[in-house]
Amino acid sequence: MFSKRIMKTLLLLFVVASSVAFCAAKPDLERERAALLKAEADFEKARAEKGLEGWLSFFADDTADVAPGYPITSGKEAMRRRLEKQWNPNLKLTWTPAKADVAASGDLGYTFGTWELTGQSQDGSPIRETGKYSTVWKKQRDGSWKVVLDLGNSDPEKK
């Protein structure tokens, strides 16, 4: 039979080991926020350099896209089919995050901010639109962040 002293020692070791394991498993949220902002910047760069394929490379396979004037698009391939019909390489889209945050679990985050679209329409007329966006990101098994929900809206036209 164990003595009380051995039992107390074992209990103390268990508590210490559990505390260490808990602290070790806790994500570094500041590092994850920085990684999310980097993913946001890389996302914009990929879109600028590689067009539609660069844009889509930052979306998870099970993404949802909620674009104004369109039904919700579920899945990256459905999003690709919709965007291929309307993609215009003469447009430049830039965005600026106002905030990024990550859940305490470290595997889900969001960004939101403003965007600007400039260039020429398919018929050659000039375009300049602005708006706001909100993006939900999910950390993937490989440690990368991918978009799982993308929302945006346009500012009202200025008169």
Rounded to an integer, what distance in angstroms lies between the CA atom of residue 147 and that of residue 139? 9
Q: Give the rounded percent of residues in the chain with a pLDDT score beyond 70.
A: 85
Q: In sequence order, what are the residues at sequence separation of 6 or more whose Cβ sits closer than 8 angstroms to the Cβ of residue 101?
A: 33, 109, 110
Indicate if the alpha-carbon torsion angle 84, 85, 86, 88 is positive or negative: positive
Domain residue spans of the chain: 28-154
Residue 158 has pLDDT above 80, yes or no: no
CB 137 within 8 A of CB 111: yes
| Residues 136-146: tens digit of each pLDDT | 999 999 999 99
Beta strands 59-66 and 145-154: pairing type?
parallel
Q: Is it true that domain 28-154 has CATH number 3.30.1360.40?
A: no
| Residues 63-98: tens digit of each pLDDT | 998 988 889 999 999 999 999 998 999 999 999 999
